[in-house]
Structure formats: C-alpha cells, structure tokens
Structure 1
Amino acid sequence: MRCSLRHAGRVGTRFHPCRKFLSSSYLSTVQALSLPQELSSFEPDYRFSLQNPESTLLWLRRWMQECAKGGNLVEAFSTLRLMEPSVLDYNALLHCYLKSGRASLDELVRIFEGMKRFGPHPNVWTFNTLYNGLWKMGYLEDACYILEEMCTYKLSPSFAALDRLVKKSVRLSSYELAFRVLELMLKFDYLPSLPVLNTLISGLIKGGKIPEAYNIYSVLMNKGLIPNVYTYNAILFGLCKSGQSYTALSLFCRLRKKGFCHNVYSYTSLILGFCKEGLWEEAYRVLEQMHCEGYMPSVVTYTIIIKFLCKNKKIDDALGLFKTVGKVGCRPDLTLYNVLLHALCCCNRMSDARELVHTMQDEGLLPDHFTHSALAAGLLKAGYIRSCQNLLHKIFSGSDLVDVVTWNIYFHSLCCAGKAREALTMISNMVEKGFIPSTVTYNTILKGFCQEENIDEALEILDHFPWGETGPDLISFNTVLSAACKQRDSSIIRRVLYRMDFQGVKLDVVSMTCLVYYFCKSGKFVECFKLIEHMISDGHKPTIVTYNAILDSLCKKGLLTDAYRLFQEFKNMGVSPDTSSYNILIHASVKKADYLSVKSLFVNMCKQGLVPDAITFSSLTYGLCKECNVSTALHLEEQMLEHGVIPSISYYNTTMDAMFRMGKLWDVFLILLKMEIEGIEPNGISFKIFNRALAKGGKKQYPKAMKILDILLSKEGASFW
C-alpha cells in the first residue's frame, strides 16, 4: 500500500484554512506581536522588581496563560511580546487557549502558521497539543493534517494518537479519512486493532471501494496481522459482490490451508458471487460442500440462490429448491416467499402463485406489504392490469398505512391502462391530504404520458412537478428523451438536452443510446457512428443495447450485409451478443427467406448458452408458416416449453393464419380447442385472420366448418368483445 504523505496544499477542509490563510496568517501574527501601544488592560504588579527579571518573566508567563485561558488571544499575544518567547511559551499559550472552550480554528491556524514561518519552530509538544485539541473539538480532518505535518518535521506520531483518530473516524463513518490515517499508521509499522479494521473494511465495501478494502487487507496480512472470520468474510462478500467470485474462491481456499475457520456467511458469500455471475454448477457445488462440512445453509443462503434463479427465468429450478428448504431443517421466511411469489407472477404462473400463498398462510406467515407489492407488481408485469388494481383496492380499503411503493404500483397500473392523466389528478389530490410522492412517482407519470405519445405535456410536467430537493433525476430526463427519439421529434430532443445542460445533468449510456436510436431511425448512420466514437472517448462504454439499436436499424433498412458485419465485430468492441441480437438477425433473415442463415444463427445462439425466447420462436414460426411448413411449426411448441417459453397468442395466430390459407380447417378447430384448454383467449388479430378467411371465400367453400369456427371463436372471445 502506498503510504503517501498529504501536505497542507492537498488537504481540503477546515485546517485547510492553512491554504486560505497562508498569505495572511503571518501578517496577523506579526500584528499581534507588534502592537504600537502598551496593553490598556495590563497593569504590572509592582511587587516584582524590574531588577529581578526572572520573577517578571514568571509573572508575564502566568498572565499570558490566564489571558489564553479566558480566550483573549490579543491580550495573550501582547503579553508574549514583552518577553522573548520560546517554543514552550507558544505551547503553553496553545494549551491554555484550547482549554478555554472558546478556541477558534482560524486563530489556531494563524498561530501555527506564524510559528512555522517566523519561529520558534513547532516541536513534538506543539503538534501533540494541537492534535489533542482538534481531536476533542471534532475537527478530525484537521487533526490528521497536524499529524501529517508532524512527519514533515521528522517527528513520529504516537500509536495512541493515530489509533484514537482512526477509531473516531470509523465510528463517524468517515471511511476515507480512516483510510488516510491507516496509511499513516502503516508508515510507522503500526497495526490497527481488529474491531477497527473490520469496521473500516465493511464501510469501504458498502461505499463501493472494494479494491481499496482488499488492498488494506492484503498489506496488513503481509505485515503479520492475524485476521478473524469477520475480517475475511467482509472481503469475500465484497469480491463476490463485485463480480470477482474466483478471486474470492482463491482467497477462501488459501485461508483454509492456513488453518482459518469459515462459517455459513463465508460460504454464502461465494454462493452469492457465483449466482450473480450465472455460474450455477459452482454455486451448487459450494452448497453441497456446506452440507458435507457440517454447515447448515441459512434461509439467507437459499433466498440468494432462489432470487438469482428467478432472475434468470429458472422458475422450475427455484421451485424445486424451495421444496427442499423445509426438508433440510431450514424454515422459509416471508422474504423468501415474497421473492418467489414476485417471480411467479412476472412469469404469468398465477396458479403456482396462488398455491404458494396458501402454503405461506399454512405455515403461519401473514402477507405483509412487500407480499402485496410483489404480487401486484407481478400481476402488472404479466399484463393483468385489472387483477392488479383489484388487489390494490383491497389493500387500500383494508389499511390506512399504505407506503409510497405500493401507491407507485397503482399509479403505474393506471398508466399501463392509458390513464396517466387520471393518475396525475389523483396524485395532486393526495398531495393536498399529506401524501409525499417520491421521484419514482413522478417518473412513473412521465413514462405514462410518454407511452401515450403526449411528449409535449410530459415535458411541461417535467418543468412544473414539485420535485423537491432531489429534483428531476437522470431517469426523468431519459424517459422524455427516449420517447422523443422514438418519435424522431428533434425539437423536443433539443429542449430536453438544453434542460439537462441547464440542470447540470450529464448524459449517460442510456441517454446516448436513445440518441443513437434516433440517428439510426432517421437513417443518419454517419452521425450515429460519430456519436459512438464520442461515447467511447468520453468514457461511456456502449452496451449491447446500443449496438442492437444499430443492428435493428440496418436490418430494417435492408442492409443485412452491414448488419452481419457489425455482428461479427461485437467481440472486438468488447461486447457479447445477447438473445435480442440473434432475434434481430433471425427475423431479418426469415423475411429474406435466408433459412440457411436462420438455422446457423439459432444453432450458434444455443452454443453460446443463450436461451431462445418468445420472440425467437415467433420469428421461426413465421418463417415456417410462410413456407407452409405448419407441421414443423407445431413441433416448435415442444421446444418452446423445454426452454421455459409459454406459447403466446401470437404463436397461435401465426399458425392459424397459415392453416386458413392452406384450407386446414380441422387443424384450426384443434388449435382453438387447445387455446381454450390452455386459457389463451383470441385477440383482435385472431378475429382479423378469421374475417379475412371469410372474405376470401372460405364461407362458400366450407360453410359448415366456418360456421363452427365462428361459434367457437365467438365463445372464446366473449370476454374480448
């Protein structure tokens, strides 16, 4: 670790008035030492003869100290002028002044700078006196500066002084200052106590300074400090949290070889890291190792695994693991139920969600507002707007203590239903009754207006919302900017960018990706790539979303060769194609009837470990049906289910359309029956397909069959109409 010395010119607060007063402090000192007249309040004690200079000097020192104790520095300095002061006299003055309870930081700066410039030069007692006084006054940064200055005089701060300062810094969560003090301690080979070190490392990790925390740990281990489990658990957690799971595993193994004991939290940290990076085999191996070594995984351990399984759409695996939790003697808590419940709702597995709620209640766990919020948010994400609102209405009617998060879900549901204006009116009425909206509340309304393509109103709302101290954030501006870019409204784009510049809000990767999308949609590919170059030079690494926007535009403009060339360059650009990248090229290749490329892309996609989604299968179904290969399209359903994709109404509409064109009405009838069994209702497109078949003479050719299909469609679509 670099144990750098921090001089006065590099310090930024409080004693840093040393910089501020550098040009004037010595003048103040000179003025105090060179008063043009005798002290008006100084009355010499004639018991001391001028012929007895030692007695007079003793009396002057006592008087100077009394003045300093009273906080009267002018009087103290005037008395000091009458003697030939030594560094001990200055030390006594500082000590008494600090004891007065009226000490001023600025005055302390002036005295200290005066001593440095004109003498007598500070000694070890000067530094210790100033340090102790500043430490007691709570000026920790300035106390640290004094100790650093002490080093420039080739004096060594005591361990006690540094230890007190680092402890107080850690206690006040001033981790950067504690890090500075620790650097100073290491310069003199002082080692902090384990409780202080553990708190410092935890604080740095919470603040995202994981490399610094690991660096401190490594240096201290090399200097002979013996850590405890709390020390290295914090490091393991920090490394795993920052995507360095294998580094954490290496540290874990080294510690075990050295004889250090691990606990449940050590293993849980590794599981967190591996799950976060999608390394499931390693995560399960660690879980198995816990059991083998006699460590019982906690409910937190299982919650982490299940949470990341759900995040990666491995719902069945999550449910399977959940069922084993109780069997191994670990009782699931409400948090675990809420995580799983939210995931089930988001994946439209409502029957499983209902069963889970019943299980939770059977276990004696009562749903809390997180449960309700998870359920409502899941219903909304799955597209069940009405069900979401009905649930929230029950929550509102049953409790007056509904938090802003739950209300935000309700406002979002209104916006999803095209009722952004109603949501805005409701918020205004609630604010009058004491409701305090969050920034998320206002951003939800902004998004609602943008989805309804009322961008002018959204920008007006952005300007007139009572945002409070936080003000509109980057998400607020990006919401309006994204909508303006999609509509290619250059006027609104300029207004948003001007407002961001005025507010001092800098564009991020999302903002620039929106602009890339705008240039692509406008066919301005030269400007688009110039913006990409600017992003990179400005330190913003374009994401796969950025490149997918370009890829999509190239395909839609018919520039498929250029799109493939860009796709091949992804690795050189430091990004990996995702499922969306493959979907864009598969869809474009299907439209070009380039089925050889489609097959190659699909195989390559699976080799890369990417999971095909509903859009992938929708494109494949469209291509097969376009070639009248309906039987193969129907076999795709098995593959969809294998990949956890539930066939949607879009899939059935595509196959039905092909069947109508081929005159396979019996197959259409079977598809409609299957849809009814699966609970999938026909939508507007379904009826358009049927009406088109009627218009093309289907009713004359197959009158009875078309009548049956009409009855069946009308029955299934009753709720639609």
Structure 2
Amino acid sequence: MLNKWTRSLRFPIKPPILTSLSSLIFSKLSVSSASNLAAATITPIAQISTDPVHAILSGFRDLGFRQFVSGHYFKDLVLMLNQAQMDDVIQSLSVENADFVVDFYHLLRNEFGFQHSRGSRFVVSHVLARKRRFKDLRLVLDQMLQEEGTGSAPLLCKLLFSSFKSWDSSSVVWDMLAFIYSRFGMVHDALFVLVKMKEQNLRPSIQTYNSLLYNLRHTDIMWDVYNDIKDSGAPQSARTSSIIVDGLCGQSRFQDAVFFLRQNDGKEFAPSVVSFNTIISRSCKLGLADVAKSFFCMMLKYGILPDTYSYNILIHGLIVAGSMEEALELTDDMEKQGLQPDMVTYKIITKGFHLLSLMSGAREIIQKMLTDEKVKPDLVTYTILICGHCQMGNIEEALRLRRDLLSSGFQLNVILYSVLLSSLCKRGLVDEALQLLYEMEANSLQPDLVTYSILIHGLCKQGKVQQAIQLYKEMCFNRIFPNSFAHSSILKGLCEKGMLSEARMYFDSLIMSNLKPDVILYNIMIDGYVKLGDIEEAVRLYKKLRDKAITPSVVTFNSLIYGFCKNRKGC
C-alpha cells in the first residue's frame, strides 16, 4: 500500500559515508585484538600517537569512565583521533560497556563539539533502544535529522539496512526514525522509511502511524495510511479515530465523519469521547453550532458520556452564535450530570456576558465562583469583567472590582491599568487617572507607550498642557519614545490654549527630528493659524506640506476653505 506513495519520489543523493567506516566500525573485534585490548596498559602520550584507540579503550577498561576522563591526558588522546578512529572507539565500547559508550558519545559532542558520523549515531541509538531509554534515543535521532534535513531517508535507510540489520532493537530504531521524520514534517522521508520497514516485515508503532496520519489529515493519502494501519494489525487508539474525524471535518466532510463513526461502532476502536469532541470542536470553529449540538446528542445516543471538555466547547460555540440562554441551560445540565464547571467554563460564560454587554450576569458568575471551594476567579476573569464595565461606561463598578482584586492579593498588569486610565480620561477624571499612574509605579509596574499616550491626550483635552509636557518629558526620560498620537495631543493642546508660538516651536522641532512627517501634525498647525486669522501662514504651511510630498487630507482642505471664507467675510 505504501509503495505507491513513494514510487514517484526522488531524493537527492548525499555524499557517501567514509569508505573506512564499515571496516572500522561494523566488523566484530577478533579474538586476538580483544585479548590485546585486555592486556593493554596506558602508555605515555609520546608513545601512543600511533594507537590512540588502543589507549582510550585500555583507559576505560583499567580506570573506569569518571576517573579516566578526568585525567590530564584524556583530552590529548581525544584530540589525536580522526573520524574513523572515533567511530572505532564507539563501536568497541558498545560491545564492551554500553553505559560507557553513551556517556562517551555525549561527552565528545557537548564538551569537545565533536560531530559524530551517521554510523556512530546509529550505534548509540541501538544501545539506547536496547536499554529502553527512549527519551535519549529520540534526542540522538532528533539531532541527526535536524542536521541531515529533508531527503535524507534513502541514505540513512541504506546504512541501517546494510550495517545494523542483525542488531538487537533494530526495529525500535527504524520506528523512531520514521516517527521523528513525521514529527519534523518530513512526510516523504517518513513514508520512505515505512516502505523500507514493510519490506523487512517490521511493524511501525501506532504512535508513528498517528503522527503521520496527523500530518496527512487534510489530504486523501490519509485513507491510505489508515488502511495500512488496519492491514498491519497495529492496535488502534482513540487518537487514531479522532485524527480521522478531525481531518474529515477540516475538509468540511461532516457526512463522511458521521459515516466513519457509525462504521466503527461496536469495534475495539469504537467512537470515543475524544472523537466526538474533535468533531464538535471543529463544527463550533466553523460557526455551525446546530451541527455541533446534533453530534453532542449523537454522543449520548451511543452511550458515550460527555466530559467537561465536551460541554465547554459546545457552551462556547453556543455563546459565539448568540445563544446565551442555551449555553446557560447546558451549564445547568452539566451540573446535573455530576460534572463540576471548571475555570474554563466560568471564563467562557463570563466572556459571553461581556460580549452581550450583560455585565450583571457576569458579576453573578464571579459571585458563584467565590462560593465554589474548588474554583476561584483569577486575574483573567476579573479583567474580562473590568473591561466590560469600562466599555459600558460604568467606571465606578470597574474601580470597585479593581479594589476587590487588590484586596484579594492580585497584582494588576499594565493592560488592565491602561483600560481603567482610558475610561477615567474619557469621563474627564484626569486627576484620578494620574493617581492610578502613581499606583502603578508604586507597584513596580512601568507604564508603557499606550499608558503615557492616554494620559497625555487626557491632560491636553482638559487644557492641562504643562502637565502633559511634563509627562512627555518623563516618558522620554524612561526611554519610551512618543508616537504621533502623543505628539498631536500636545500640539493640539498648545493650539487650543492660544499658545501658537510655542506650538510652532514644538512643531518645527518635530519636523527637524527623525520623525516621519505626518499630515495630522500639519493639519493641527494649519487649523491653529486659521482660527487665529493668519491665513497667509496657514497657506505657507500647506505649500511646505506639498513640497514634502505629503498628501493633504479632507481636514486640510476644510481648514483652508474655512480660513478663506472667514478672511473674505472680515473684509
């Protein structure tokens, strides 16, 4: 089945491995060489330059790993080794002491920056597989495939087949290789490994099949992989069917998903709550709340009890669809079924009330959470509620919730403070907003660009330009550079106060700086001159604007038209 996927694939051929590798690594030690190694002793550095391999193996054998590698001559020995000799040491150690070979491999890579050959990596991989150290095995192969890259499967498979076929745990290494290729998204390489495994009657694990299935879930090849799973006899998991369902839903093939669930009813891998959750979630993401409800009912029909996640995704889908009442009924049903709403449930409902501007309902949810011993409102829940009250203009309730947060030991973040500051400034309560700024700084929170811009704009609207300029200087001192919003607020405030000369000096300094010219700044100054009756200077600024290739806006022309009409009327 898998052969037809790879028949048309063409992989780039990489340089062959060292020609001496097979003779040095994969030949068994002869009886005479083994006896020579057993009799060897560590000789002075000057005498071992011709046989550093012999010296290293003798050192491990006579002194043990820790004592030998800590010796002053070990580094000199390692630096004498070429690639083939290093491979020979690793091969020999894999036979004599499996623990030593793994430690030696990592020591060379981590401490000496040594780049191991493919053969040595596979030697260590087989040792780790035999010792069932799967996490370490995955790490070794991870590193190798990251370096080898896409299209390396033919070369690695050839090496595995020719030199490691008779090794113990070879099937584990093959399977892990296919799994990691799939995990890295190298699907063609993973398929190639599976084909070669099939030729040797090696069966991939269900984890490897599932990983590959997941990568192919949006393609028709998904079915070929699934059929191969069934043909191989690999025990399927709930994850297998959920991936199939997710793939079908992702392709908007809901009828096929239903057929698949019904087809597998009563089998060992019958529909599970995971499969139904997958299809319910996908339906909700596509905005098909009614479809999600039907699958929820089908799950009950199959005798599968929904879990908390099942309820949460459907409650969220109903709220997004605007069916708040149905969502609340489903929450009640959840509790009747003995499932306690968790933090996610409460957040979903609180956000739903916020979206519908039903803040009294959101407040009730908070109160319910406070009486629940297992679930307590967190900062996110309070943030949703505070933002909702601010959007509705109920700043008093928002500030009261802030006090509740502080008294409960929560630390507010910069975003939440900015929301409160914005609401206060919109209400003209700039002094109260400044008090919140001081509270932020007292709590070691550094105001950001948004925070300063909100306050500067609010102060300028109140005519408190000097305070705004002082805050502007503090902002620059803290190495937070103003944007055009802050600049325009100060400039407009100076113009509205009649301080046109100061405004012009500020405007000229902005134009002379590296600030990108902004039509809004020109509009403010033109409007200021027009209202003062200085139409000539307004026109000169307009010409400068055009000289800088800045496109005038409707506001620019409206101000000039108003100025010409006012000037003519005065005449």
TM-score for both structures, normalised by structure 2: 0.54
How many percent of aligned residue pairs carry the same amino acid?
Answer: 16
Aligned pairs for 1:157-176 within 5 A: 157=161, 158-164=170-176, 175-176=183-184
Alpha-carbon distance, 1:313 to partner: 3.7
Question: Match for residue 294 of structure 1?
Answer: 303
Question: Match for residue 207 of structure 1?
Answer: none
Q: What per-residue deviation string (whole Å, max 9, x for no partner) do you get for residues 418-474 of structure 1?
A: 15654443322211xxx5x6xxx736526635864979999988877689xxxx9xx
Structure 2 counterpart SS, 1:42: helix
Structure 1 counterpart SS, 2:253: helix
Are 2:129 and 1:129 equivalent residues in the alignment? no
2:52–2:77 Cα contact (<8 Å) kept: no
**Quick one: distance in 2 between partners of 1:192 and 1:337?**
43
Residue type of the alignment partner of 1:95: Q
Alpha-carbon distance, 1:333 to partner: 4.0
**Quick one: distance in 1 between partners of 2:220 and 2:369?**
45
Q: How many residues align?
A: 414
Alpha-carbon distance, 1:281 to partner: 2.5
Alpha-carbon distance, 1:411 to partner: 3.9
Question: Match for residue 385 of structure 1?
Answer: 395
Aligned pairs for 1:183-332 within 5 A: 183=191, 185-189=193-197, 191-195=203-207, 198=210, 200=211, 218=223, 220-225=225-230, 227-234=236-243, 236-237=245-246, 244=250, 246-247=252-253, 250-259=256-265, 260-326=269-335, 330-332=339-341
1:8–1:149 Cα contact (<8 Å) kept: no
Equivalent residue for 1:445, pick from 443, 451, 456: 451
Alpha-carbon distance, 1:295 to partner: 2.8
Note closer, same or farther for the CA distance 1:232–1:42 as it changes in structure 2 (3 Å cut).
same
1:270–1:286 Cα contact (<8 Å) kept: yes
Residue type of the alignment partner of 1:129: V
1:442–1:465 Cα contact (<8 Å) kept: no
TM-score for both structures, normalised by structure 1: 0.44
Alpha-carbon distance, 1:277 to partner: 2.0
Q: What per-residue deviation string (whole Å, max 9, x for no partner) do you get for residues 155-176 of structure 1?
A: 3454332334567x69xxx942
Which blocks of at least 5 consecutive residues in structure 1 are unaligned?
A: 10-38, 45-56, 113-121, 205-209, 499-521, 529-549, 558-721
Note closer, same or farther for the CA distance 1:388–1:332 as it changes in structure 2 (3 Å cut).
same
1:64–1:77 Cα contact (<8 Å) kept: no
Alpha-carbon distance, 1:388 to partner: 0.9
Structure 2 counterpart SS, 1:278: coil
Question: Match for residue 144 of structure 2?
Answer: 143
Q: What per-residue deviation string (whole Å, max 9, x for no partner) do you get for residues 624-650 of structure 1?
A: xxxxxxxxxxxxxxxxxxxxxxxxxxx
Structure 2 counterpart SS, 1:188: helix
Question: Match for residue 95 of structure 1?
Answer: 91
Question: Match for residue 41 of structure 1?
Answer: 46
Note closer, same or farther for the CA distance 1:43–1:236 as it changes in structure 2 (3 Å cut).
closer
Structure 2 counterpart SS, 1:246: coil
Residue type of the alignment partner of 2:88: A
**Quick one: distance in 1 between partners of 2:488 and 2:194?**
51
Note closer, same or farther for the CA distance 1:299–1:422 as it changes in structure 2 (3 Å cut).
same
**Quick one: distance in 2 between partners of 1:237 and 1:396?**
43
Question: Match for residue 443 of structure 2?
Answer: 430
Note closer, same or farther for the CA distance 1:220–1:323 as it changes in structure 2 (3 Å cut).
same
Question: Match for residue 190 of structure 2?
Answer: 182
Alpha-carbon distance, 1:285 to partner: 1.8
Structure 1 counterpart SS, 2:47: coil
**Quick one: distance in 1 between partners of 2:371 and 2:157?**
72
**Quick one: distance in 2 between partners of 1:364 and 1:128?**
54
Alpha-carbon distance, 1:264 to partner: 2.4
Alpha-carbon distance, 1:343 to partner: 2.7
1:449–1:457 Cα contact (<8 Å) kept: no
Structure 2 counterpart SS, 1:368: coil
Task: Out of 321-330 and 260-269, give the one that drifted further.
Answer: 321-330
Question: Match for residue 414 of structure 1?
Answer: 421
Alpha-carbon distance, 1:387 to partner: 0.8
**Quick one: distance in 2 between partners of 1:456 and 1:6?**
65
